[in-house]
Amino acid sequence: MTTQKVTGSKALILSLLEEGVDTIFGYPGGAIMPIYDALYDFDKKVKHILTRHEQGAVHAAEGYARVSGKAGVCFATSGPGATNLMTGIADAMIDSTPLVCITGQVASPLLGTDAFQESDVVGMSIPVTKWNYQVTNAEEIPEAIAQAFYISQSGRPGPVLIDITKDAQFGELDFKYEKCKKIRSYVPETPVDPFKIKEAAEIIDAAKRPLVLFGHGVIIGNAENEFKAFIEKTGIPAAWTLLGLSALPSDHILNVGMLGMHGNYGPNLLTNEADVVIAVGMRFDDRVTGKVSEYASKAKIIHLEIDPAEIDKIIKADVAVLGNSKKSLKMLTDNVNKNSHNDWVARFRDCDYTENEKIIQNELFPEKPGLTMGEVIRITGDKTNHEAILVSDVGQHQMVASRYFKFRKSKSNVTSGGLGTMGFGLPASVGAQFGALDRTVVAVIGDGGFQMTIQELGTIAQNKLPIKIIILNNNFLGMVRQWQQMFFDKRYSFTELQNPDFITIAKGFGVTGHKVEVREDLENGIQKMIDHNGPYLLEVVIEKEDNVFPMVPTGASVSEIVLEH
Catalytic residue positions, numbered: 54, 116-117, 166, 479
Among 40, 109, 126, 339, contact with other proteins (rule: CB under 8 A): 126
Among 307, 523, 543, 545, contact with other proteins (rule: CB under 8 A): 307
In the bound state with other proteins, the residue whose beta carbon lies nearer, of 1 and 309, is: 309
Determine contact, residues 372/363, Cβ cutoff 8 Å: yes
Q: What is the DSSP annotation of 63-127?
A: HHHHHHSSPEEEEE-TTHHHHTTHHHHHHHHHTT--EEEEEEE--GGGTTTT-TT---HHHHHGG
Among 127, 500, 508, 534, contact with other proteins (rule: CB under 8 A): 127
Among 181, 367, 491, 564, contact with other proteins (rule: CB under 8 A): 181
Residue 328 sits in the site that holds other proteins (CB under 8 A): no
In the bound state with other proteins, the residue whose beta carbon lies nearer, of 151 and 270, is: 151
Nearest-CA neighbor of 218 among 186, 252, 194, 195? Answer: 252
Residue 295 sits in the site that holds other proteins (CB under 8 A): no
Q: What is the DSSP annotation of 302-342?
A: EEEES-GGGTTTSS--SEEEES-HHHHHHHHHHHSPP---H
Determine contact, residues 544/531, Cβ cutoff 8 Å: no
Residue 539 sits in the site that holds other proteins (CB under 8 A): no
How many residues contact other proteins, by CB under 8 A? 25
Residue 293 sits in the site that holds other proteins (CB under 8 A): no
Among 44, 113, 184, 342, contact with other proteins (rule: CB under 8 A): 184
Among 15, 103, 132, 559, contact with other proteins (rule: CB under 8 A): 132
Shortest distance, CB of residue 89 to other proteins, whole angstroms? 15
Q: How many residues does the chain have?
A: 565
| CA-to-CA dists, residue 297 to 261, 350, 557, 558, angstroms | 18, 21, 10, 10
**Residue window 136-175: x/- pattern of binding to other proteins, with contact defined by CB under 8 A:** ---------------x------------------------
In the bound state with other proteins, the residue whose beta carbon lies nearer, of 313 and 519, is: 313
In the bound state with other proteins, the residue whose beta carbon lies nearer, of 122 and 530, is: 122
Angle between helices 86-94 and 54-68 (to 10 degrees): 20
Shortest distance, CB of residue 123 to other proteins, whole angstroms? 7
Among residue numbers 185 through 204, which ones bind other proteins (CB under 8 A)? 185-189, 191
Residue 108 sits in the site that holds other proteins (CB under 8 A): no
Among 45, 183, 206, 357, contact with other proteins (rule: CB under 8 A): 183
Max Cα–Cα distance, the chain, nearest Å: 72
Among 7, 84, 134, 453, contact with other proteins (rule: CB under 8 A): 134
Shortest distance, CB of residue 314 to other proteins, whole angstroms? 10
In the bound state with other proteins, the residue whose beta carbon lies nearer, of 282 and 428, is: 282
Give bridge partners of residue 469 from the DSSP assignment.
Answer: 443, 537
In the bound state with other proteins, the residue whose beta carbon lies nearer, of 127 and 508, is: 127
Identify the burial level of 127 via C-beta atoms within 10 angstroms of its C-beta, where 0-12 means exposed, 13-18 middle and 19 or more buried: exposed
The residues, ordered by sequence, that sit 6+ positions from 468 with a Cβ below 8 Å of its Cβ are 380, 388, 440, 441, 442, 443, 529, 530, 532, 536, 538
> φ and ψ at 340, to 5 degrees?
-150, 155
Shortest distance, CB of residue 182 to other proteins, whole angstroms? 4
Q: Angle 466-28-21 (CA atoms, 0-180°, nearest 5)?
A: 60
Residue 518 sits in the site that holds other proteins (CB under 8 A): no
- Segment interacting with other proteins, rule: CB under 8 A, options 182-190, 194-202, 397-405, 413-421: 182-190
Among 309, 498, 531, 555, contact with other proteins (rule: CB under 8 A): 309
d(CA 444, CA 426): 8
Q: What is the 3-state secondary structure (H, E, C) of 11-36?
A: HHHHHHHHCCCCEEEECCCHHHHHHH
In the bound state with other proteins, the residue whose beta carbon lies nearer, of 285 and 447, is: 285
| CA-to-CA dists, residue 111 to 86, 165, 212, angstroms | 20, 9, 51
In the bound state with other proteins, the residue whose beta carbon lies nearer, of 183 and 253, is: 183
d(CA 555, CA 562): 13
Question: Which H or E run includes 504?
Answer: helix 502-509
Shortest distance, CB of residue 127 to other proteins, whole angstroms? 5
| Contact positions vs other proteins (CB under 8 A) | 122-123, 126-127, 130-132, 134, 151, 181-189, 191, 307-309, 311-313
